[in-house]
Amino acid sequence: MTIILPSPADNAVNAKSKTNSSKAMAGLRFIASILIVLDHFHYTFWKDSPLPNFTIAVSFFFILSGYGLTTAFQGKESPSTLGFILKRYARLWPLHLITLLITAYCMPNVTHVTWERPEALWILLSNAFLIHGWIPIRAWFFSFNIGSWSMSMLIACYLFFPTYLRVIRSAKKYVLGFILLSLLAIMIALAWDCPIFSEGHISQQGLLYVSPLSRGLEFFLGMLLAQGFSSQQWQQSKIAVWLKRPFSASMLELSTIALFGLTVFCTQDAFFFREKLNPLEPLGFYLSFAGSSLIPCLLLISIFSQTPTGLFSRLLGSPIMVYLSSLTFGVYLIHIPLLHLYLYPVVLKPHIPQPTPLMLVIYFAGLLGLSALSHHFIEKPFYQWASKRIKAFKL
């Protein structure tokens, strides 16, 4: 049997394709962050209006995070758990602590915590270490800077990433997937007698939406996707070659965007599945807020990661989109406190005034500006400093 090895020219083309795909993924990441900001605007100003269900972007973010990290470690050994988690904390911690202190002490009227509560200090400490999202009680996971719950979920995913990576590189990846699905089924069963939302008790929202298990499953699916596309069998397949043709790639990208948009608009009633599947209420809640997002999100990432020559991939991979993607963590952590600056003067009024177009322009310009300042002067310098210290200690 003759084995044909790729030529240096082929390797160069493959490397360029991977780079273009990574840039497109970065562009999608930024768009997902903006969709989440728009979703929070929806619940603040247009709660009674049937706007698109942008919560689908939350699932997209976790799947893409798993995909991106696994792709970054292709051809490398699995990292040590301690060193990896410390680097992840170094990436998230500085800006998180700043926004936490601002919301805790400068915006007391717009947080979910009152200092008279006996557990207020513990809630603050859990926020400081980004583990508040692991506690399925709304007063904890939506406390202070509400948007930081997703960072708390990421820390949980990062904690298990080195183990997940070793498993998916072995024959046991399907066993782990089955275990995660089984645990999710158990969580759905436990949520049966829980209220949908509750400020001081365990709720379906805490068990199935703001949950390390449901978000960890999305993260793991992203890892599986990256591992599958990295295989030599896939890269040499006819489908993979066909996907690199500009016309076919562009048409597939357009079709996938249409499917994603259809899902967003057709599930604008957030309780669609919960009402249809009554009395299987917890299962319906999970499908409404997370489960229904899986297929369109997986398809979107699958197509855009494999069509580097497509028109939309090239647009998403433009220098401006790649730069904006570096501001994503800032957008997540700053957008709620910045929104509160607008709400603070009117928070005691019975009706929140609708935002004007000028207010929206000023808000998003301020959000991107503050995120850029944070990236260049807080996040990046601290991460570089911490990475050197972690490397010096050989963690």
CA distance 313 to 375: 25
Reading the block at residue 275, the tokens are 């009402």
The pLDDT assigned to 3 comes to 35
The pLDDT assigned to 6 comes to 40
**Distance between terminal CA atoms of the chain?**
45
The pLDDT assigned to 245 comes to 85
The pLDDT assigned to 154 comes to 92
Neighbour count for residue 28 (Cβ, 10 Å): 24
Average pLDDT, 10 consecutive residues per value, the chain (395 residues): 38 49 84 87 67 80 91 84 86 90 72 70 90 89 88 92 85 71 73 78 84 87 88 80 84 88 69 52 74 85 86 88 91 87 56 72 91 93 86 69
The pLDDT assigned to 203 comes to 84
The pLDDT assigned to 356 comes to 74
The pLDDT assigned to 348 comes to 47
CA distance 307 to 249: 5
Amino acid in the structure at residue 29: R
Of 164, 110, 168, nearest to 336 by C-alpha is 110
Residue carrying structure tokens 């698109």: 52
* Per-residue buried b or exposed e for 237-275, using 16+ beta carbons within 10 Å of the residue's own CB: eeeeeebbeeeebbebbeebeeebeebbeebeeeebbbe
The pLDDT assigned to 344 comes to 55
User: Do residues 368 and 327 touch, judged by C-beta distance below 8 A?
Assistant: yes
Of 214, 222, 216, nearest to 184 by C-alpha is 214
User: Do residues 215 and 199 touch, judged by C-beta distance below 8 A?
Assistant: no
User: Do residues 54 and 36 touch, judged by C-beta distance below 8 A?
Assistant: yes
**Domain residues of the chain, as ranges?**
29-392
Reading the block at residue 284, the tokens are 């319906």
CA distance 57 to 264: 9
Q: What contacts 268, CB < 8 A, 6 or more positions away?
A: 50, 51, 52, 53
Q: Give ∠ CA 381-384-385 in degrees, rounded to 5.
A: 85
The pLDDT assigned to 375 comes to 93
The pLDDT assigned to 145 comes to 87
Amino acid in the structure at residue 115: W
Neighbour count for residue 355 (Cβ, 10 Å): 17
